[in-house]
Amino acid sequence: MPSNYISGQLAGDFEERASDVVWRVRWRGRDLYIVILLELQSTCAQDMVLRLLVYTGLFYQLLLKERPLRRGEKLPPVLPIVFYNGDPEWWAPLEMSELIESVPASFAKYVPSMRYCLIDEKRWPLEDLEALLDNVVAGISRVEKSLDDLVSMVSRFNEWLDQPGQSTLRRDILAWLTKVVFPTQLPSIDIPELSDLDEFQTYVEVEMQTWPEQWNAEGREEGFRLGLQEGIELGRQIAGGVAILRRMMERKFGGVSERVEKHFSTASADQLLVWADRLLDAETVDDIFGS
């Protein structure tokens, strides 16, 4: 449905996808207009119910501008939906009255009324999602929760969206998988440019077999790098400890022998601590290192 009435109202990517915000469906023999605002950030918007109230009002104004109501005629119903996939639990008010200060009962009927349907994706139990075998939104949520059944879900997306007029949605699902899901959950995997879900399904079925080997190799490389860094840092600490202990022994005993230097050359950090502790009460070098 036309959505130019919200031009300038949505920030960022929503402005580019304004045409996807408003939908019309047939429900029980009549039109049902659905205003959908996808809240895809990890933060919760306290004024969401007010924003949806404004969007709904603007939508009604657009309808009336195109065709004024005849006497006795009513506006079509609107179902506001917020699809939220942030990590923190959604805490914003769902009802407009909850956003407004309490008023006396005699004034309550004048308070604006508005409520939206919240789909809090992260709070959906996985078993409930698995039970929705033919639901695209449930499939999206399953993929975002776990990639264990990625291949089967991509296959189902292909089946569900294999209808005339769904090419745009197929494109959007492909973009979501390659530009959002993989960079977030599998950042080490480079996805080539693919033109359709069919190509993506083939790619995943073939390439997924090589990912564990790639992850193991990357893990070994990362482990070696971290181990090397820790080793260098530990080596610096030991060298510094040896220098301090040598200086203390020189001041207490007048110098260090070749035998002591040999001890230093094989010292560990823990051993240096033991020797430093013995040095406090030692009367001879042997009291530190033993005979």
Predicted confidence (pLDDT) per residue in 164-197, tens digit: 778 888 888 888 888 888 777 777 677 778 888 8
Can you give the pTM of this predicted structure?
0.54
Q: How high is the pLDDT of residue 179? A: 83
When pLDDT is cut at 50, 70 and 90, the band that residue 100 belongs to is very high
Share of the chain above pLDDT 70, in %: 73
Residue 238 belongs to some domain of the structure: yes
Question: Which tens digit of pLDDT belongs to each residue from 275-289?
Answer: 877 877 788 888 888
When pLDDT is cut at 50, 70 and 90, the band that residue 77 belongs to is confident
Higher pLDDT, 10 or 137: 137
Residue 55 belongs to some domain of the structure: yes
Higher pLDDT, 82 or 251: 82
Q: Which of 67, 100, 123 is the last residue of a domain?
A: 123
- Which residue range is the domain that position 47 belongs to? 1-123
Question: Which tens digit of pLDDT belongs to each residue from 159-170?
Answer: 888 877 788 888
Q: What 3-state DSSP class applies to 273?
A: helix
* Residue 35: pLDDT over 70: no
* Residue 3: pLDDT over 80: no
Q: What 3-state DSSP class applies to 73?
A: coil
Q: Which of 82, 105, 123 is the last residue of a domain?
A: 123
* Residue 97: pLDDT over 80: yes
Residues 126, 213: Cα–Cα separation, whole Å:
28
Residue 143 belongs to some domain of the structure: no
Residue 270 belongs to some domain of the structure: yes
Average pLDDT over residues 50-65: 83
**What's the structural domain count of the chain?**
2
Average pLDDT value for the chain: 75
Residues 230, 234: Cα–Cα separation, whole Å:
6
Q: Which of 123, 138, 166 is the last residue of a domain?
A: 123
Q: State CA 136 to chain mean position distance.
A: 19
> Sign of the C-alpha dihedral, residues 170, 29, 2, 112?
negative
Q: How high is the pLDDT of residue 223? A: 52
**Range among 11-25, 48-62, 267-281 rated most confident:** 48-62
Share of the chain above pLDDT 90, in %: 7
Average pLDDT over residues 103-118: 90
Residue 158's contacts (CB-CB under 8 Å, 6 or more residues apart) are 197, 198, 201
DSSP code of residue 109: T
Q: How high is the pLDDT of residue 6? A: 54
Q: Parallel, antiparallel, or unpaired: how do β-strands 30-39 and 22-27 relate? A: antiparallel
Question: Which tens digit of pLDDT belongs to each residue from 218-257?
Answer: 555 555 455 545 654 566 567 666 767 777 787 788 877 8
Q: What 3-state DSSP class applies to 120?
A: strand
Nearest residue to 275 via CA among 228, 241, 250, 251: 241
Strands (E) across 54-172 are located at: 78-84, 117-120
When pLDDT is cut at 50, 70 and 90, the band that residue 83 belongs to is confident
Q: How high is the pLDDT of residue 92? A: 92
Residue 284's contacts (CB-CB under 8 Å, 6 or more residues apart) are 253
Residue 194 belongs to some domain of the structure: no
Q: How high is the pLDDT of residue 19? A: 42
Higher pLDDT, 30 or 54: 54
Q: How high is the pLDDT of residue 99? A: 92
Q: How high is the pLDDT of residue 34? A: 66
Sheet harboring 22-27: ordered strands across? 22-27, 30-39, 78-84, 117-120
The amino acid at 79: L
Residue 105 belongs to some domain of the structure: yes
Residue 139 belongs to some domain of the structure: no
* Residue 94: pLDDT over 90: yes
Residue 283 structure tokens: 């009367």
Residue 197 belongs to some domain of the structure: no
